[in-house]
């Protein structure tokens, strides 16, 4: 399995958790630094920021390597909100860390959930 596959898998896990509104599972797909900084309120944070958007589907558009421990994945997403369907482009930053604040190519990939909140 190449690195892009691992990165895509963690992003798909994050998105599937969002679609299922499984905030605990979504938290597990986040990068270690973000998990550490939000260890007490992370699940609540994810729920409050993502719960109103009922994710329906997504499609990866482009994968851009920033470094050997950081990539950006551009996506098209569709979600329902207040009875309407929205289509947006978003960018997910995926970071590889062995522990909080320590990027490491031999670590684990995780989604920075803040990166996804900005829509185009």
For residue 50, give the DSSP letter.
H
Pick one of 3.60.110.10, 3.10.450.100, 3.40.50.300, 3.40.50.2300 as the CATH number of 3-117.
Answer: 3.10.450.100
- Cβ-proximal residues to 76 (8 Å cutoff; 6+ apart), any chain: 58, 59, 61, 87, 88, 89
How far is Cα 112 from Cα 115, in angstroms, rounded to an integer?
6
Q: What is the dihedral of CA 18, 25, 110, 93, to 10 degrees?
A: 10
Cβ neighbours of residue 29 closer than 8 Å, sequence gap 6 or more: 10, 11, 13, 14, 17, 110, 111
Structural tokens at position 37? 């900084």
Residue 115 has pLDDT above 50, yes or no: yes
Please give the full DSSP string across 76-107, using - where no structure is assigned. Answer: EEEEEETTEEEEEEEEEEEEEEEETTEE-TTS
pLDDT for 39-71, tens place per residue?
A: 999 999 999 999 999 999 999 999 999 999 999
Asked whether the whole model's pTM tops 0.85, one would answer: yes
Ranges of each domain in the chain: 3-117
Give the model confidence (pLDDT) of 105-114 as tens digits.
Answer: 999 999 999 9
The residue-averaged pLDDT of 76-101 equals: 95
């Amino acid at each position: 399995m190449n690195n892009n596959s691992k990165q895509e898998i963690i992003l798909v896990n994050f998105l599937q958790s969002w679609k299922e509104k499984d905030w605990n599972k979504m938290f597990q797909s986040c990068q270690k630094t973000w998990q550490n900084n939000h260890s007490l309120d992370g699940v609540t944070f994810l729920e409050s920021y993502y719960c109103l958007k009922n994710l329906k589907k997504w499609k990866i558009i482009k994968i851009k390597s920033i470094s050997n421990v950081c990539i950006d994945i551009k996506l098209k997403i569709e979600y329902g909100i207040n009875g309407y369907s929205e289509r947006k482009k978003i960018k997910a930053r995926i970071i590889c860390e062995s522990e909080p604040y320590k990027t490491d190519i031999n670590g684990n990939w995780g989604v920075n959930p803040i990166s996804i909140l900005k829509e185009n």
